[in-house]
Structure 1
Amino acid sequence: MYAEERQQATAQLVIARGRVSVAELAEEFAVTTETVRRDLSVLERMRVLRRVHGGAVRAGSVPVVESGLDERDVAQAREKERIAVAARRFLPGAGGTVILDAGSTTARLADLLPRDTRLIAFTHGVPIAARLAAVAGVDLHLLPGRVRTTTQAAVGATTVQALERLRVDVAFVGTNGLTLERGLSTPDPEEAAVKTAVVRAARRVVVLADATKFGLDATVTFAPLSDVDVVVTDAESPAVPRDALAEAGIDVVLA
């Protein structure tokens, strides 16, 4: 077994069991404990798991702390750029309607919207609206609501109500966490309510998520995987359960 295959199998065991010991993994793969520890260090750097004394636990066992938009914008920046480029293929044709969920990856997609094709775009992300306001080909609608300082996104009952009246071709959605068991999640309840309304308003849901988001449970679930049509993520990683997502009927696109 190659190191990459062993690390993939290790990631799957940790996700399935929640916790594994170094000794168990050494026996499972017939390798030394030193080899296991090196594998765990690699997987921890990928945020697939968290090392603890004597073994490792799921990354989802670690509470997800909501970071500010500026901090998130610089994290995994190259990966997010690639994801945004790959997501362009799912834009509707001329006259189509889209919702761009608030977030640092969807903001990059906003920069890539065509200038020569008319699109009708809805967003509750203030920075996204600012990027699109001067784009001649985009008929921009900024959704109402109270703007959260942390994410610069409009939230609240008025935001949800506005989304409930919409039916768009495609929603491009960001997420703080994605697990097979609980689907998509985010730390804040008000953000979660808006994201749920975004998902429900779309005929097609495209999730933009770098590999660090997989296996994380960010407190408040806003959509099950059954609501997702496409996941666009960065280069293949043990953290991304491609086979399981495909079995759930989700198209996984690697940027």
Structure 2
Amino acid sequence: MYATERQGLIERQLLDEGRVAVVELSARFGVTTETVRRDLDALELAGALRRVHGGAVAIGRGSTAEASVGERTTLHADTKQRIAARALDVLGEKFRGSLYFDAGTTTAAVAGLLPGRLSETRGETEVVTHSLTLAPALAGADGVALTVVGGRIRGVTAAAVGAATVRSIQSLRPDIVFVGTNGVSAGFGLSTPDPEEAAVKEAIVRAARRVVVVADSSKFDQESLVSFAGLAAVDLLVTDRAPEGALADALADADVEVWAA
């Protein structure tokens, strides 16, 4: 295979997955890791990617890059629905208690399916969120008693942030929280680009009795600017495929249960 053919396939994988790893590309193409690194160097010079340790990411996947909630809603939509349906299995058949929903498109998918799942139970479930995107889907739903945490609304995520939001969350003790993340890695844990969003997410994780992270596999081995929780703080990761390599080992060491939808 010519170098231009390999590089074209690398670009296609970046479009599909947002990242590539040197070792995986070496095995895929049957070439040395040095050859793959030369391909990545050439593509970086052409402005097609950005090199990171162990591989490369698509342009715009830096530590502070963040798409708007509108842009992310249609990204991996089918995958997020599968993850959402699987994540709600954590409630069991007769759940009684309280839930907190973090902001995000995958958590929004979970929230959207919640009323249908609660219709199979009795009584109301206390639900709290700081997301203006999630709240309309839950307001007035049968079986849901909704509380919305206020604060300054960050336009990119349509979520409340700031000191008042954090204080409100710190006064809670929800039974289960569903948390989204921009990245999950072996060494850096869960991370997100914005410091204020990170502070809110950290408060949610600290408040919870049980932490359920919902994230598709494109978030694996990604590190955004701010870490808001270590892997040891997570009880369950619900995703579309099982992690591999160092991340899989780190999750096992942290005793994180993994469900693949």
TM over 0.5, shorter chain = yes
User: Do the aligned partners of 1:59 and 1:216 also contact (CA within 8 Å) in 2?
Assistant: no
CA distance in 2, matches of 1:218, 1:135: 35
Q: Which residue of 1 aligns with 2:210?
A: 204
Q: Secondary structure at the match of 1:241?
A: helix
Q: Which residue of 2 aligns with 1:102?
A: 103
The answer to whether the aligner puts 1:215 opposite 2:221 as a matched pair is yes
Q: Which residue of 2 aligns with 1:142?
A: 148
CA distance in 2, matches of 1:91, 1:251: 15
Q: Which residue of 2 aligns with 1:71?
A: 71
Q: Which residue of 2 aligns with 1:14?
A: none
1:231-246, aligned counterparts within 5 Å? Answer: 231-236=237-242, 238=244, 241-246=247-252
Report Cα offsets for 1:46-101 as digits up to 9, x if no partner: xxxx675xx96254994351110011111111111111011001127443101000
User: Do the aligned partners of 1:210 and 1:233 also contact (CA within 8 Å) in 2?
Assistant: yes
User: Quick one: percent identity of the two aligned structures?
Assistant: 43
RMSD: 3.4
User: Do the aligned partners of 2:185 and 2:247 also contact (CA within 8 Å) in 1?
Assistant: no
User: Do the aligned partners of 1:115 and 1:135 also contact (CA within 8 Å) in 2?
Assistant: no
The answer to whether the aligner puts 1:164 opposite 2:170 as a matched pair is yes
Equivalent residue letter for 1:65: A
Aligned positions, number:
225
Over 3 Å counting, the alpha-carbon distance change for 1:239 and 1:188 in structure 2 is farther
Q: Which residue of 2 aligns with 1:12?
A: none
User: Do the aligned partners of 1:124 and 1:154 also contact (CA within 8 Å) in 2?
Assistant: yes
User: Do the aligned partners of 2:217 and 2:239 also contact (CA within 8 Å) in 1?
Assistant: yes
Over 3 Å counting, the alpha-carbon distance change for 1:56 and 1:199 in structure 2 is closer
CA distance in 1, matches of 2:68, 2:112: 20
CA distance in 2, matches of 1:238, 1:33: 21
Over 3 Å counting, the alpha-carbon distance change for 1:58 and 1:91 in structure 2 is farther
Q: Which residue of 1 aligns with 2:125?
A: 119
Equivalent residue letter for 2:113: L
Q: Which residue of 1 aligns with 2:259?
A: 253
Structure 1 segments of 4 or more deviating over 6 A?
Answer: none
CA distance in 2, matches of 1:159, 1:177: 23
Instruction: Name which of structure 1's ranges 59-68 and 160-169 shifts more when overlaid on structure 2.
Output: 59-68
Q: Which residue of 2 aligns with 1:57?
A: 55
CA distance in 2, matches of 1:94, 1:31: 51
Instruction: Name which of structure 1's ranges 112-121 and 232-241 shifts more when overlaid on structure 2.
Output: 232-241
CA distance in 2, matches of 1:139, 1:216: 35
User: Do the aligned partners of 2:242 and 2:259 also contact (CA within 8 Å) in 1?
Assistant: no
Q: Which residue of 2 aligns with 1:9?
A: none
CA distance in 2, matches of 1:138, 1:206: 19
Q: Secondary structure at the match of 1:83?
A: helix
Task: Between the two structures, name the one with larger relative contact order (CA 8 Å, sep ≥ 6).
Answer: 1
Over 3 Å counting, the alpha-carbon distance change for 1:67 and 1:29 in structure 2 is closer
Over 3 Å counting, the alpha-carbon distance change for 1:214 and 1:240 in structure 2 is farther
Over 3 Å counting, the alpha-carbon distance change for 1:251 and 1:236 in structure 2 is closer
Q: Which runs of 5+ in 2 are unaligned?
A: 1-20, 41-48
Instruction: Name which of structure 1's ranges 186-195 and 227-236 shifts more when overlaid on structure 2.
Output: 227-236
The answer to whether the aligner puts 1:132 opposite 2:138 as a matched pair is yes
CA distance in 2, matches of 1:247, 1:21: 23
User: Do the aligned partners of 2:152 and 2:161 also contact (CA within 8 Å) in 1?
Assistant: yes
Q: Secondary structure at the match of 1:196?
A: helix
User: Do the aligned partners of 1:129 and 1:142 also contact (CA within 8 Å) in 2?
Assistant: yes
User: Do the aligned partners of 2:62 and 2:224 also contact (CA within 8 Å) in 1?
Assistant: no
CA distance in 2, matches of 1:247, 1:208: 19
TM-score for the superposition, normalised by structure 2: 0.76
Q: Secondary structure at the match of 1:134?
A: coil
CA distance in 2, matches of 1:20, 1:216: 15
Q: Which residue of 2 aligns with 1:182?
A: 188
Over 3 Å counting, the alpha-carbon distance change for 1:143 and 1:51 in structure 2 is closer
